Chains A and B, each alone.
Chain A
Amino acid sequence: NAGVTQTPKFQVLKTGQSMTLQCAQDMNHNSMYWYRQDPGMGLRLIYYSASEGTTDKGEVPNGYNVSRLNKREFSLRLESAAPSQTSVYFCASSEWTGGTEAFFGQGTRLTVV
Protein backbone atom coordinates (compact mmCIF):
# COMPACT_ATOMS: atom_id res chain seq x y z
CA ASN A 1 0.00 0.00 0.00
CA ALA A 2 1.21 3.49 -0.81
CA GLY A 3 -0.53 5.00 2.24
CA VAL A 4 -0.60 8.79 1.92
CA THR A 5 0.94 10.29 -1.20
CA GLN A 6 1.73 13.97 -1.58
CA THR A 7 2.76 15.84 -4.68
CA PRO A 8 4.97 17.67 -5.34
CA LYS A 9 7.81 16.91 -2.93
CA PHE A 10 9.52 20.24 -3.50
CA GLN A 11 8.29 23.56 -4.89
CA VAL A 12 9.62 27.08 -5.19
CA LEU A 13 7.12 29.87 -5.77
CA LYS A 14 7.42 33.57 -6.28
CA THR A 15 5.42 35.84 -4.01
CA GLY A 16 1.90 36.18 -5.37
CA GLN A 17 1.91 32.94 -7.35
CA SER A 18 -0.69 30.29 -6.71
CA MET A 19 -0.40 26.54 -6.46
CA THR A 20 -2.22 23.45 -5.28
CA LEU A 21 -0.70 20.72 -3.15
CA GLN A 22 -2.18 17.34 -3.86
CA CYS A 23 -2.79 14.53 -1.37
CA ALA A 24 -4.27 11.09 -1.86
CA GLN A 25 -4.73 8.14 0.51
CA ASP A 26 -5.53 4.56 -0.33
CA MET A 27 -6.60 3.34 3.13
CA ASN A 28 -10.29 4.18 2.74
CA HIS A 29 -9.98 6.67 5.58
CA ASN A 30 -12.78 9.10 6.29
CA SER A 31 -10.72 11.96 7.72
CA MET A 32 -7.90 13.92 6.14
CA TYR A 33 -5.74 16.77 7.39
CA TRP A 34 -3.27 19.39 6.23
CA TYR A 35 -0.51 20.55 8.58
CA ARG A 36 2.41 22.90 8.20
CA GLN A 37 5.72 22.49 10.02
CA ASP A 38 8.14 25.36 10.40
CA PRO A 39 11.80 24.83 11.44
CA GLY A 40 12.10 23.73 15.05
CA MET A 41 8.36 23.85 15.44
CA GLY A 42 5.59 21.39 15.86
CA LEU A 43 2.89 20.71 13.32
CA ARG A 44 0.08 23.21 13.09
CA LEU A 45 -3.27 22.20 11.66
CA ILE A 46 -4.37 24.25 8.65
CA TYR A 47 -7.61 22.53 7.61
CA TYR A 48 -9.16 19.16 8.05
CA SER A 49 -11.96 17.16 6.50
CA ALA A 50 -13.89 14.88 8.79
CA SER A 51 -15.54 13.11 5.88
CA GLU A 52 -16.12 13.45 2.16
CA GLY A 53 -17.97 16.68 1.50
CA THR A 54 -16.96 18.49 4.69
CA THR A 55 -14.03 20.74 5.53
CA ASP A 56 -13.23 22.76 8.65
CA LYS A 57 -10.64 25.30 9.70
CA GLY A 58 -7.77 24.31 11.92
CA GLU A 59 -5.33 26.48 13.88
CA VAL A 60 -3.83 28.47 10.99
CA PRO A 61 -6.26 28.56 8.01
CA ASN A 62 -5.60 32.08 6.74
CA GLY A 63 -4.16 32.20 3.23
CA TYR A 64 -5.24 28.67 2.36
CA ASN A 65 -8.19 26.90 0.81
CA VAL A 66 -8.93 23.20 0.63
CA SER A 67 -11.03 20.84 -1.43
CA ARG A 68 -12.08 17.33 -0.49
CA LEU A 69 -12.40 16.12 -4.04
CA ASN A 70 -13.57 12.63 -3.07
CA LYS A 71 -12.88 10.19 -0.27
CA ARG A 72 -9.32 9.62 -1.44
CA GLU A 73 -8.15 13.13 -2.27
CA PHE A 74 -7.72 16.32 -0.26
CA SER A 75 -5.99 19.29 -1.86
CA LEU A 76 -4.54 22.46 -0.36
CA ARG A 77 -4.44 25.66 -2.39
CA LEU A 78 -2.41 28.78 -1.90
CA GLU A 79 -4.09 31.53 -3.91
CA SER A 80 -1.39 34.17 -3.49
CA ALA A 81 1.73 32.78 -1.91
CA ALA A 82 3.62 34.82 0.69
CA PRO A 83 7.11 34.26 2.17
CA SER A 84 5.44 33.48 5.51
CA GLN A 85 4.00 30.37 3.87
CA THR A 86 7.47 28.91 3.37
CA SER A 87 7.20 25.64 5.26
CA VAL A 88 6.98 21.89 5.03
CA TYR A 89 3.40 20.78 4.43
CA PHE A 90 2.13 17.40 5.58
CA CYS A 91 -1.05 15.68 4.62
CA ALA A 92 -2.44 13.00 6.91
CA SER A 93 -5.42 10.71 7.13
CA SER A 94 -7.13 8.77 9.86
CA GLU A 95 -9.96 6.29 9.94
CA TRP A 96 -12.19 8.90 11.52
CA THR A 97 -11.86 12.36 13.13
CA GLY A 98 -10.91 11.65 16.70
CA GLY A 99 -8.90 8.61 15.75
CA THR A 100 -5.53 8.79 17.43
CA GLU A 101 -3.52 7.08 14.72
CA ALA A 102 -3.01 9.36 11.76
CA PHE A 103 -0.89 8.36 8.78
CA PHE A 104 1.28 11.04 7.25
CA GLY A 105 2.68 11.65 3.81
CA GLN A 106 6.33 12.42 3.19
CA GLY A 107 5.74 16.16 3.07
CA THR A 108 6.03 18.96 0.53
CA ARG A 109 8.84 21.44 1.08
CA LEU A 110 7.58 24.81 -0.17
CA THR A 111 9.74 27.90 -0.50
CA VAL A 112 8.19 31.26 -1.36
CA VAL A 113 10.69 33.87 -2.54
Chain B
Amino acid sequence: GESVGLHLPTLSVQEGDNSIINCAYSNSASDYFIWYKQESGKGPQFIIDIRSNMDKRQGQRVTVLLNKTVKHLSLQIAATQPGDSAVYFCAEIAYNQGGKLIFGQGTELSVKP
Protein backbone atom coordinates (compact mmCIF):
# COMPACT_ATOMS: atom_id res chain seq x y z
CA GLY B 1 0.00 0.00 0.00
CA GLU B 2 0.94 3.64 0.07
CA SER B 3 3.59 4.57 2.61
CA VAL B 4 5.75 7.35 3.89
CA GLY B 5 9.35 6.55 4.73
CA LEU B 6 12.64 8.17 5.60
CA HIS B 7 16.05 7.97 3.91
CA LEU B 8 18.29 8.05 7.01
CA PRO B 9 17.60 6.52 10.39
CA THR B 10 20.18 8.68 12.26
CA LEU B 11 21.71 12.09 11.77
CA SER B 12 24.45 13.65 13.88
CA VAL B 13 25.22 17.38 13.58
CA GLN B 14 27.31 19.94 15.38
CA GLU B 15 25.56 22.57 17.45
CA GLY B 16 25.04 25.67 15.36
CA ASP B 17 25.07 23.82 12.05
CA ASN B 18 22.03 23.43 9.86
CA SER B 19 20.26 20.06 9.79
CA ILE B 20 18.41 18.49 6.90
CA ILE B 21 16.10 15.57 7.48
CA ASN B 22 14.69 13.79 4.45
CA CYS B 23 11.58 11.81 3.73
CA ALA B 24 10.36 9.90 0.69
CA TYR B 25 6.68 9.36 0.12
CA SER B 26 4.79 7.24 -2.35
CA ASN B 27 1.19 8.44 -2.07
CA SER B 28 0.85 11.09 -4.75
CA ALA B 29 -2.73 11.65 -3.57
CA SER B 30 -1.66 13.05 -0.19
CA ASP B 31 -3.05 16.50 0.52
CA TYR B 32 -0.77 17.52 3.35
CA PHE B 33 2.66 16.56 4.59
CA ILE B 34 3.61 17.18 8.18
CA TRP B 35 6.69 17.01 10.40
CA TYR B 36 6.51 15.90 14.01
CA LYS B 37 9.18 15.90 16.69
CA GLN B 38 9.32 13.26 19.41
CA GLU B 39 11.53 13.78 22.43
CA SER B 40 12.53 10.82 24.54
CA GLY B 41 9.67 9.52 26.66
CA LYS B 42 7.11 11.87 25.16
CA GLY B 43 4.45 11.82 22.50
CA PRO B 44 5.08 13.42 19.11
CA GLN B 45 4.66 17.16 18.77
CA PHE B 46 3.60 19.04 15.63
CA ILE B 47 6.30 21.16 14.01
CA ILE B 48 5.11 22.33 10.62
CA ASP B 49 2.93 21.25 7.71
CA ILE B 50 2.85 21.91 4.00
CA ARG B 51 0.00 21.60 1.59
CA SER B 52 0.60 19.46 -1.48
CA ASN B 53 0.24 22.44 -3.83
CA MET B 54 3.12 24.28 -2.17
CA ASP B 55 6.89 23.88 -2.61
CA LYS B 56 8.19 25.56 0.50
CA ARG B 57 6.99 26.73 3.86
CA GLN B 58 8.95 28.42 6.60
CA GLY B 59 8.46 28.48 10.31
CA GLN B 60 10.56 29.56 13.22
CA ARG B 61 14.04 28.17 12.44
CA VAL B 62 12.48 25.43 10.31
CA THR B 63 11.75 25.15 6.62
CA VAL B 64 9.92 22.36 4.87
CA LEU B 65 10.53 21.69 1.19
CA LEU B 66 8.30 19.55 -1.00
CA ASN B 67 9.42 18.15 -4.33
CA LYS B 68 6.46 16.42 -5.92
CA THR B 69 8.41 15.42 -9.00
CA VAL B 70 10.56 13.01 -7.03
CA LYS B 71 8.11 12.59 -4.12
CA HIS B 72 10.54 13.99 -1.59
CA LEU B 73 10.01 16.00 1.57
CA SER B 74 12.67 17.61 3.72
CA LEU B 75 12.87 19.48 7.00
CA GLN B 76 15.63 22.01 7.43
CA ILE B 77 16.52 23.20 10.91
CA ALA B 78 18.67 26.31 11.08
CA ALA B 79 21.33 26.77 13.77
CA THR B 80 20.63 23.41 15.36
CA GLN B 81 20.54 23.44 19.14
CA PRO B 82 20.88 20.65 21.73
CA GLY B 83 17.15 20.97 22.38
CA ASP B 84 16.56 19.87 18.80
CA SER B 85 17.84 16.40 19.61
CA ALA B 86 14.86 14.10 19.05
CA VAL B 87 13.30 11.72 16.56
CA TYR B 88 11.65 13.46 13.64
CA PHE B 89 8.77 11.88 11.75
CA CYS B 90 7.22 12.85 8.49
CA ALA B 91 3.53 12.14 8.14
CA GLU B 92 0.85 12.53 5.52
CA ILE B 93 -2.86 13.06 5.19
CA ALA B 94 -4.96 12.11 2.19
CA TYR B 95 -8.53 13.38 2.31
CA ASN B 96 -9.77 10.80 -0.17
CA GLN B 97 -8.50 8.08 2.16
CA GLY B 98 -10.32 9.22 5.28
CA GLY B 99 -8.01 12.02 6.28
CA LYS B 100 -6.07 9.77 8.62
CA LEU B 101 -2.66 10.92 9.90
CA ILE B 102 -0.17 8.29 8.69
CA PHE B 103 3.43 8.36 9.92
CA GLY B 104 6.75 7.41 8.37
CA GLN B 105 9.55 5.60 10.24
CA GLY B 106 11.54 8.47 11.77
CA THR B 107 15.05 9.94 11.86
CA GLU B 108 16.95 10.39 15.08
CA LEU B 109 18.74 13.74 15.23
CA SER B 110 21.67 14.00 17.62
CA VAL B 111 23.21 17.42 18.24
CA LYS B 112 26.82 17.46 19.43
CA PRO B 113 27.86 20.39 21.62
Kindly provide the distance from the CB of B9 to the nearest chain A CB, expressed in whole angstroms.
Answer: 8
Query: Given that A98-B95, A98-B99 are known contacts, is A42 also in contact with B43, CB under 8 Å in the complex?
Result: no
Interface bracket on B = 20 to 34
Does the CB pair A106–B43 fall under 8 Å?
Answer: yes
The tally of residues in A whose CB lies under 8 Å from a CB in B reads: 28
Query: Given that A100-B34, A100-B46 are known contacts, is A42 also in contact with B89, CB under 8 Å in the complex?
Result: yes
Scan B61-104; emit 1 where CB is below 8 A from any A CB, else 0. 00000000000000000000000000001000101001111111
**Which residues of the partner chain B approach A103 to less than 8 Å between Cβ atoms?**
46
**Which residues of the partner chain B approach A102 to less than 8 Å between Cβ atoms?**
44, 46, 101
The distance in angstroms between the C-alpha atoms of A94 and B99, with both chains bound, is 11
Does the CB pair A43–B103 fall under 8 Å?
Answer: yes
Kindly provide the distance from the CB of B21 to the nearest chain A CB, expressed in whole angstroms.
Answer: 14
Scan B35-58; emit 1 where CB is below 8 A from any A CB, else 0. 000000111111001000000000
**Which residues of the partner chain B approach A74 to less than 8 Å between Cβ atoms?**
none
B: which residues have CB within 8 A of A? Answer: 9, 31-32, 34, 41-46, 49, 89, 93, 95, 98-106
A: which residues have CB within 8 A of B? Answer: 4, 33, 35, 40-45, 48, 50, 56, 58-59, 90, 92, 94, 96-98, 100-107
Give the 5 A-B residue pairs with the shortest CB-CB distance, closest first. Answer: A104-B43, A98-B99, A100-B49, A97-B99, A42-B103
